[in-house]
Amino acid sequence: MISSLQQLPLDNRLLTLGEAYYSRVAPTPLREPRLLHANAELAAQLGLDPALLHTPEFLEIFAGNQALPGGEPIATLYAGHQFGNFVPQLGDGRAILLGQLRDAAGQLWDLQLKGAGPTPYSRFADGRAVIRSSVREYLAGEALHHLGIPSTRSLSLISARDPVRRESIEHAAVICRVAPTHLRFGHFEVFYYRRQHEQLAPLADYIIAQHYPELWERDARHRDWLREVIGRTAALIAQWQGVGFCHGVMNTDNMSILGLTLDYGPYGFIDAFDAHHICNHSDDHGRYAFSRQPEIGYWNCSRLLQATLPLLDAQPERAVEIAQELLQHYAAVYEQRMNAIWRAKLGLAEAREQDAELIDGFLLMLHAGRADFTRSFRLLAGVRCAGEGEAGPLREEMRDLARFDAWLAGYQARLRSEDSDDAARALRMNAVNPCYVLRNHLAQRAIEAAERGESGEIERLLELLRKPCEERPGFEAYAAEPPPEAQQISVSCSS
């Protein structure tokens, strides 16, 4: 267990690529920083003594006020397709990589400050984050991680009195974002479209060596690596769909090269189910609506393949053929993972041809009646195999009772055909259908408390989100449908 920040086993491996990939930059200090919350669970995973999180040295370093011992801070260069339009240069506009930590198991971890001030890629912005957006990202990383969905996480949440202008004047905050890497599709796009194709292979080889070492000795390692990225991306989006999670800004520069959920902005978990829900109020045309996330993931993978064509074959025609073959992997993985997720959520023990009709019937019914997505799946575990109307509290969630009763009869018949045991099935279903998700109104409550300098609501939410499928007495309000006033909460790209 590391007991001093002076002893951090840093391995700043990304810097070996050279300055074509990044710019050196120091964080901008904050005035009177205050630790709002620290992630002791993540600290332990990194091999850090949790007592370190509450030292003055930790506060100053992770507020950006002191240098990380052994760190070499940089901001990386990338491009990306934003809402379908290519932007030739983006980069870490408000994120600074302090250093890379190598844990006891040999895993590499980025320690990245988000909101630490301007970088060469800030495009005239201030490089800051505010309490509102920082609390949302801090909570969301933990929420998805504990749902078993790959995600970046955060080690610390620090606030300050520094004013930041957004729609109004808010207070600054900075999080230390942690992931094996924050590299994304856009890191390849920038060099492809600049025709600096010689920069592609070193970047790909760095990623393969550090994060896909099993592929290193293969003759076609770049092809096999891209196939793996495509598969991970498809699986990730299937997991999002399974819990009703909307990312909100699925630009290619927000797509992780490891298949992680990256860059939390106007995200949201669906409450009243609308298959075409748009969680981002900046998304005027619904490009990133819930129902479109799978196809956008496919499109984004096609942009990654376009950017890496020079890695696939020296002959352009053959490279395109290989890319087209690789892209087919997306649909196959997505369908397999999505069907498995829906079957598990419905408690189906076997895969059958009729599954799609049963699954779609339930989802269409939720959509038509705007039933609560999370609650409906959770209550589905209370259905019994035998007897008419044995639906428990789930029936109360439904608007069209005749339609529900017809679907229920078919569902019960299916369960009986599998000799399904009610109690055993309920245990399985309750292990995959969460009771608690990070609903927007819950996050907003934590934000408002944090803006008053109070962190208790953050801790209460984290306590629930760390075990999202475990019902906790006294916390029924956190699993209930949102109150009517929650409909007024709006999230956009500034969130």
Residue 165 assigned as binding residue:
no
Would you say the C-alpha torsion 86, 90, 95, 97 has a positive or negative sign? Answer: positive
Residue 284 assigned as binding residue:
no
Residue 410 assigned as binding residue:
no
* Cα–Cα distance, 356 to 351 (Å, whole number): 10
Residue 467 assigned as binding residue:
no
* Cα–Cα distance, 408 to 388 (Å, whole number): 9
Residue 382 assigned as binding residue:
no
Residue 280 assigned as binding residue:
no
Contact 440/486 with Cβ under 8 angstroms? yes
* Cα–Cα distance, 186 to 82 (Å, whole number): 10
Buried/exposed 316-338: b ≥16 CB within 10 Å, e otherwise: eeebeebbeebbebbeebbeebb
Joined tokens for residue 356: 């799609």
DSSP code of residue 333: H
Joined tokens for residue 387: 């007897």
Residue 114 assigned as binding residue:
yes
DSSP code of residue 216: T
DSSP helix, strand, coil percent of the chain (3-state; round to 5): 45, 15, 40
* Cα–Cα distance, 3 to 54 (Å, whole number): 12
Residue 49 assigned as binding residue:
no
In whole angstroms, how far apart are CA 12 and each of 68, 99, 389, 471?
12, 6, 61, 42
421 is a catalytic site residue: no
> Which residue type, as a one-letter code, is found at position 86?
F
3-class secondary structure per residue, 366-420: HHHHCCEHHHHHHHHHHCCCCCCCCCHHHHHHCCCHHHHHHHHHHHHHHHHHCCC
* Cα–Cα distance, 163 to 184 (Å, whole number): 31
Given the residues 253, 271, 283, 372, the one annotated as active site: 253
Residue 127 assigned as binding residue:
yes
Q: Which residues contact 45 (CB under 8 A, 6 or more apart)?
A: 103
Residue 254 assigned as binding residue:
yes
Contact 77/25 with Cβ under 8 angstroms? no
Annotated binding site: 91, 93-94, 114, 126-127, 177, 184, 254, 263
Annotated binding site for Mg(2+): 254, 263
Annotated binding site for ATP: 91, 93-94, 114, 126-127, 177, 184, 263
Active site residue ranges? 253
